[in-house]
């Protein structure tokens, strides 16, 4: 399968292709070569985003080519390769294949785009187990979840771990532990909430913790649910984004596919009239890991759906 071969070629450049690194540069050069071979006109904008255009290019399709240090073959790269495959099946369609820069650290490239098409379509691995649990190869994304990130600080008192009675302690870490359980219990259907980082002071094995700072990451594709979750958890919000609804380009060609939401951010958040299609992730839905996997059969179905959606929009 050519799509898998192309994914392997990108992965062979480096497992970790950090944004604006020589490795990401090399991946972009490889994609540019494939675009030229497909008869597309190459251009780059000030952020280094790569475009392979044909005609007026009223419709874009693509994703990103950078990766995290523990990345696999499919995250991001699948969207670029699928767009190339679809473009080659539609030799007369006015469209563009795009490879955005530095999605994993921002996104940095797609945020800078100021000239927009009629529509943007992105194929992406699900990065989770939902489609596999449903036994479905593809899922139409209805929205990208909004996110709120911040922290909660707990103040206690440092004491000797051996000589201070339990009932005489002001242990900040014990209070933080109760809060961590509260964060998990607050995440009801349609939301997720995570504590991923903890800073303990003085961070010594024989000292009762005096201060603990706990991170919070709360997400939902429903703005009202996200607001209620933030209120229930009670934490200091440092950064927040609203949910981003997706258009129906894939829904029109896949009316019977399951509807799913994206808990992760994507380039599609920053491009108007975006649609996303998820491809089933295997191996338990693992991603940002060398074991991430989607089957050739599922990828082929995704390329078929992308081709049909592009043909409809570019006609």
Task: Check whether residue 162 and residue 211 sit in a common domain.
Answer: yes
Task: For 88-137, write each residue's pLDDT tens digit.
Answer: 999 999 999 999 999 999 899 999 998 889 999 999 999 999 999 999 99
pTM equals 0.93
Boundary residue ending a domain (241, 265, 284):
241
Task: Check whether residue 134 and residue 23 sit in a common domain.
Answer: yes
Boundary residue ending a domain (241, 259, 276):
241
Mean pLDDT of 191-213: 98
Task: Give the model's pLDDT for residue 159.
Answer: 98
CA 245 to chain centre: 15
Q: Using an 8 Å Cβ cutoff, are 225 and 191 in contact?
A: yes
Task: Check whether residue 123 and residue 133 sit in a common domain.
Answer: yes
CATH code, domain with 137: 3.40.630.10
Task: Check whether residue 254 and residue 226 sit in a common domain.
Answer: no
Task: Check whether residue 204 and residue 273 sit in a common domain.
Answer: no
Domain count, the chain: 2
Task: For 144-172, write each residue's pLDDT tens digit.
Answer: 999 999 999 999 999 999 999 999 999 99
Helices (H), 109-247: 130-134, 172-186, 223-233
Task: Check whether residue 80 and residue 227 sit in a common domain.
Answer: no
Task: Give the model's pLDDT for residue 32.
Answer: 98
pLDDT at 1 over 90: no
Task: Check whether residue 224 and residue 184 sit in a common domain.
Answer: yes
Strand spans (E) along 12-137: 41-44, 50-54, 59-64, 95-100, 119-125
CA 144 to chain centre: 9
Boundary residue ending a domain (197, 226, 241):
241
Q: Using an 8 Å Cβ cutoff, are 95 and 58 in contact?
A: yes
Q: Using an 8 Å Cβ cutoff, are 94 and 44 in contact?
A: no
Which residues lie closer than 8 Å to 303 by C-beta, 6 or more apart? 3, 82, 85, 86, 89, 123
Q: Using an 8 Å Cβ cutoff, are 97 and 79 in contact?
A: no
Beta-strand relationship, 198-201 and 119-125: unpaired
pLDDT band at 278 (very low <50, low <70, confident <90, very high): very high
Distances (CA, A) of 196 to 38, 152, 215: 44, 12, 6
Q: What's the domain range around 158?
A: 146-241
CATH code, domain with 228: 3.30.70.360
Task: Give the model's pLDDT for residue 315.
Answer: 87
């Amino acid at each position: 399968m050519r799509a898998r071969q192309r994914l392997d070629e990108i992965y062979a450049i480096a497992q970790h292709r950090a944004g604006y690194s020589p490795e990401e540069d090399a991946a972009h050069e490889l994609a540019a070569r494939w675009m030229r071979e497909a008869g597309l006109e190459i251009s780059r904008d000030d952020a280094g985003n790569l475009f392979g255009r044909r005609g007026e290019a009223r419709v874009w399709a693509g994703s990103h080519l950078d990766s995290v240090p523990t990345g696999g073959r499919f995250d991001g790269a699948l969207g670029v390769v699928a767009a190339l495959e679809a473009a080659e099946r539609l030799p007369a369609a006015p469209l563009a294949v795009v490879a955005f820069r530095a999605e994993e650290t921002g996104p940095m490239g797609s945020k800078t785009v100021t000239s927009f098409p009629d529509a943007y379509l992105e194929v992406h691995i699900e990065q989770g187990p939902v489609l596999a649990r449903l036994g479905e190869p593809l899922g139409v994304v209805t929205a990208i979840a909004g996110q709120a990130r911040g922290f909660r600080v707990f103040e206690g008192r440092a004491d000797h771990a051996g000589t201070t009675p339990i009932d005489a302690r002001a242990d900040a870490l014990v209070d933080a532990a109760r809060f961590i359980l509260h964060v998990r219990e607050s995440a009801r259907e349609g939301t997720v909430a995570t504590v991923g980082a903890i800073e303990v002071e003085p961070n010594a094995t024989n000292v009762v913790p005096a201060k603990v700072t706990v991170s919070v990451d709360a997400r939902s594709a429903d703005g009202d649910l996200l607001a209620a979750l933030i209120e229930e958890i009670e934490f200091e919000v440092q950064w927040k984004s609203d949910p981003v609804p997706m258009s129906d380009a894939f829904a029109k060609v896949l009316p019977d596919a399951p509807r799913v939401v994206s808990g992760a951010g994507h380039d599609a958040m920053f491009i108007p009239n975006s649609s996303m299609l998820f491809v089933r992730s295997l191996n338990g839905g693992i991603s940002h890991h060398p074991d991430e996997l989607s089957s050739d059969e599922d990828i082929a179905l995704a390329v078929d759906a992308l081709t049909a959606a592009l043909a409809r929009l570019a006609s």
